[in-house]
Amino acid sequence: MKRTSTRLADGREILYYDTGDGAAARAVPDTRPLEAPATGTGPEVRRDPLLGDPVVIAAHRQGRTYRPPADACPLCPSTEGRASEIPAPDYEVAVFENRFPSLAGDTGRCEVICFTPDHRTSFAELDEERVALVLAAWSDRTAELSAREGVRQVYCFENRGTEIGVTLAHPHGQIYAFPFVTPRTTRMLATVAAHRERTGGNLFEEVLAAERSQGTRVVLEAEHWTAFVPYAARWPYEVHLYPRHRVPDLPALGDAARGEFPRVYLELLRRFDRLFDRPEPTPYISAWHQAPTGEGRADFALHLELFTIRRTADKLKYLAGTESGMEAYMNDVRPEDAAARLREVASA
């Protein structure tokens, strides 16, 4: 992998990741007349006084780019007469600081990761070599951002589909460097720590072992990875993907797990696209859960969560009163039935 770092016109960093010494690896200047963001207009982190949860206030994002036409996509390579967020005329994988970040400066950092220059494709249609490069980029960004002062947790994720709320159709994901440990991870770490104190065991390892032993919710079993629908799934179709050997984050993955990941992950994404009899791809969120940079790393287990808000071909799962108001999830699909369906749509 070759990594090339340069700057956009307003000072934001952009990095190109290439498998070889291709055209995208060359530092092409950004000629747009962009100005650096005004000071004092960025996001701030506030604490909910009753729950203690952090909430990011990012009012400046109201003016961000919203569903532009394909010929005005800011994530496609730049062409003569049309400059985008990516100055190079071609690239393999590109990562750059978000122009409209939810986190910036003292409150962290937000990056956009573009998986391919092809606007018309999706992650599920990438080849294994490109997925391996994306995994290398995720790992590299996790390692670098985790080492920054003030960063407590790095989160790599992809939102796909207008139903999810995606505003740019180009295949891309995001990488957030949080200045706090997220509420979900905080609760997870507390449960894991209590289990360790009570039993001496690691709860992540025991959950994975139980799912593999029982088998009814296992969706895909490979040499170095296991995918299963969790026992108490919140979403109609939700899969958790764990490496067999527990590690805290993406940089800690071994070579064998890295080598097998592209095939396993592409198979899961393609199964999601075959779940429903619809012409368009299935909307989903794909989220890497990684250990914080400080406390809790010893017991944490890296895992990926993949879920869709679609519950049938023509119905969506909305977060209504119980979920949005009380965080009490009600699932319309039995996890065992979801697992059976995801096994049914496996590649021939």
Q: Are 182 and 157 in contact (CB under 8 A)?
A: no
One domain, residues 121 and 236? no
In percent, the amount of the chain with pLDDT more than 90 equals: 88
The angle that helices 255-273 and 128-146 make with each other, rounded to 10 degrees, is 120
Q: pLDDT grade, residue 23 (50/70/90)?
A: low
Count structural domains, the chain.
2
One domain, residues 141 and 188? no
One domain, residues 278 and 156? no
Average pLDDT value for residue range 137-145 = 98
pLDDT digits (tens, 9 = 90+) for 252-267: 999 999 999 999 999 9
In percent, the amount of the chain with pLDDT more than 70 equals: 97
Contacts of 46 (CB under 8 A, 6+ apart): 54, 55, 56, 57
pLDDT digits (tens, 9 = 90+) for 224-260: 999 999 999 999 999 999 999 999 999 999 999 999 9
One domain, residues 312 and 200? yes
- Catalytic residue numbers? 172
Phi/psi of residue 151, nearest 5 degrees = -85, 130
How many other CB atoms are found less than 10 A from the CB of residue 160? 23
What are the C-alpha distances in Å from 162 to residues 10, 102, 148? 29, 20, 33
- Alpha-carbon distance of 314 to 85, in angstroms, equals 35
- Two tokens at 72? 């005005």
Position 22 scores a pLDDT of 62
Q: Which of 162, 180, 198 is the last residue of a domain?
A: 180
Residue 38 clears pLDDT 90, i.e. is over it: no
Average pLDDT value for residue range 26-45 = 83
- Two tokens at 2? 């070759």
Q: In which domain, by residue range, is 23 found?
A: 2-180
- Alpha-carbon distance of 97 to 52, in angstroms, equals 29
Position 197 scores a pLDDT of 97
Average pLDDT value for residue range 162-188 = 96
How many other CB atoms are found less than 10 A from the CB of residue 300? 22
What are the C-alpha distances in Å from 338 to residues 232, 239, 284, 307? 12, 9, 15, 11
Q: Which of 129, 155, 180 is the last residue of a domain?
A: 180
Compute the mean pLDDT over every residue in the chain, rounded to the nearest whole number: 95
